[in-house]
Amino acid sequence: MSTYSEGRVPLLSLETIAATLAPFRISLSQSQLNSIKDYIELLLLWNQTINLTAIEDPVEIVSRHFGESLFAATFLDIGYSRLADVGTGAGFPGLALKIVCPSAKVTLFESNIRKCAFLKEIAQRLGFIDVDIRRQRYAEFEATGAVFDFVCARALGDYPGFMPWARRMIRPEGRVVLWLGTEESIRLGRRKEFIWDAPVAIPESRRRVILVGRVRP
């Protein structure tokens, strides 16, 4: 059961977090579970004044935000990679993945100044290094050559503009990783500039998948 602090922010036990993540095949250390607990408490505190998430139930936040994000790490070798999260919002999937892949170098693209302030506080609170929070739209970012091993987007929506940009940014052996509804994954899977893996169904969801593709030579 959740309890409430004086600030009316729901608190979760580490056991509840671990049990909620179990269907996603994620096994975390106590330190990682504590990081998720701290993240949720700060997220809900900030959510009282800025719109970071429509989900207010802490258990559902664990499942929908952390579970869906971290599930990708069960079949992708993120390790020491350079990962970009486009339209990260409250930090999903990028900062969530940083908890389980601490060696990854994560770049977060978020144009909202207040959301960027939240992301900076989370990164500082959890002691993250190699996190680059960029207050800009992804389309405004250009680099000399491909720079990322993974380019991720979760519920972005702007796929016609995003896909050509992602193709330019991904290294030859890199991947684009998308959290999508089933129908959207079918439409994107027809794009010929990428070679797509079969969509991976997200546990605890009937219509959500993760779609992974690599740039067609």
Name the CA radius of gyration of the chain, rounded. Answer: 17
With a cut of 80, say whether residue 56 has pLDDT above it.
yes
With a cut of 50, say whether residue 3 has pLDDT above it.
no
Range of the domain at 129: 3-215
With a cut of 60, say whether residue 195 has pLDDT above it.
yes
- Please check whether residue 95 is in contact with residue 122, taking contact to mean a CB–CB distance below 8 angstroms: yes
What's the token pair of residue 154?
């979760």
With a cut of 50, say whether residue 113 has pLDDT above it.
yes
The pLDDT assigned to 217 comes to 87
The pLDDT assigned to 6 comes to 41
Largest CA distance in the chain: 57
- Other CB atoms within a 10 A radius of the CB of residue 82 amount to 20
Please state, for a pLDDT cut of 70, what percent of the chain lies above it: 95
Domain CATH for 190 = 3.40.50.150
With a cut of 80, say whether residue 177 has pLDDT above it.
yes
The pLDDT assigned to 123 comes to 98
Q: What is the pLDDT of residues 9-48, one digit of tens each?
A: 567 899 999 999 999 999 899 999 999 999 999 999 999 9
The pLDDT assigned to 5 comes to 42
189 class by beta-carbon count within 10 Å (0-12 exposed, 13-18 middle, 19+ buried) = middle
Ramachandran quadrant class, 155 (left: phi over 0; alpha: psi -120 to 50; beta: rest):
left
Number of domains in the chain: 1
* Cβ-Cβ contacts under 8 Å for 104 (sequence gap 6 or more): 78, 79, 80, 81, 82, 83, 97, 98, 130
Q: How far apart are CA 24 and CA 71, in angstroms?
A: 6
Looking at the DSSP bridge assignments, the partners of residue 69 are none
